[in-house]
Amino acid sequence: MAKTFLLEIIASDRVFFTGQCESLIFPGMDGERGVLANHERTVTCINAGEVKYKIDGEWYYAAISDGYAEVSGDHVVIIADTVEKPEEIDVKRAEEAKIRAEERLRQKQSIMEYYHTQVALNKAMNRLKVNQRHLK
Residue 22 confidence (pLDDT): 96
Mark the ranges of the chain whose per-residue pLDDT is less than 50.
none
Residues 64-92 pLDDT 10s: 999 999 999 899 999 999 999 999 989 99
Q: What percent of the chain has pLDDT over 70?
A: 99
8 A C-beta contact, residue 68 and residue 10: no
Q: What does the mean pLDDT of the chain come to?
A: 92
CATH 1.20.5.440 residue ranges for the chain:
90-134
Does domain 90-134 match CATH 1.20.5.440?
A: yes
> What's the whole-model pTM score?
0.84
Strands (DSSP E) contained in the chain are 5-11, 14-21, 23-28, 31-36, 39-46, 49-55, 58-64, 67-73, 75-80, 83-84
Residue 135 confidence (pLDDT): 72
Residue 1 confidence (pLDDT): 62
Residue 136 confidence (pLDDT): 58
Residue 100 confidence (pLDDT): 93
CATH 2.60.15.10 residue ranges for the chain:
5-84
Residue 23 confidence (pLDDT): 96
Residue 109 confidence (pLDDT): 85
What is each CA distance from 30 to 16, 17, 69, 85, in whole angstroms? Answer: 25, 25, 14, 24
Residue 55 confidence (pLDDT): 96
User: What class is the 5-84 domain?
Assistant: mainly beta
